Amino acid sequence: MSINTLATISETILIRVAVLDTFIINPVSSSDRASFDDANQELTVTAVRVGEVYHKVILNLIDATDLVFEVGSVISTEPPNISSTGLYKNGILTVPLLLALKDRYVISFSLKSENPVHFRVVSAEPVP
């Protein structure tokens, strides 16, 4: 990067933070977004809204061919003030920002079964 580019970035960081604070949105950090751990075949969604309640959800990949995940754990959490909150409604789980293998996606799952709880990926679109 050139010195001019670095200076521009440095000057605008405070403005960006002020704008995000105005809308009560924190910048997304690696701990805020959903992520897939390839070694453990585990997808962690730090915040999923179900009605008015929020949960941290861990999904375990059980079928790599059909992209089926089983709910490993669900932990109640405080309402986050981040823009990457997942939403579960009418049998569809939508995750607006998933980091997988250094790529970013918006991903949707449909409920495949309730006992045990399984979700199947129905769409995954790259996020630029």
- Residue-range domain boundaries for the chain: 28-126
- At 105 the pLDDT is 87
Q: Among 23, 39, 40, which Cα is nearest to 81's?
A: 23
Residue 101: what are its φ and ψ, rounded to 5°? 50, 45
Query: What is the chain's pLDDT, residue by residue, as a tens digit (128 residues)?
Result: 445 555 555 555 445 444 444 444 444 444 567 888 888 999 999 889 999 899 999 999 999 999 999 999 999 988 876 666 889 999 999 998 888 777 888 999 999 999 999 999 999 998 87
- At 119 the pLDDT is 96
What are the angstrom distances between the C-alpha of 21 and each of 2, 9, 56?
29, 18, 23
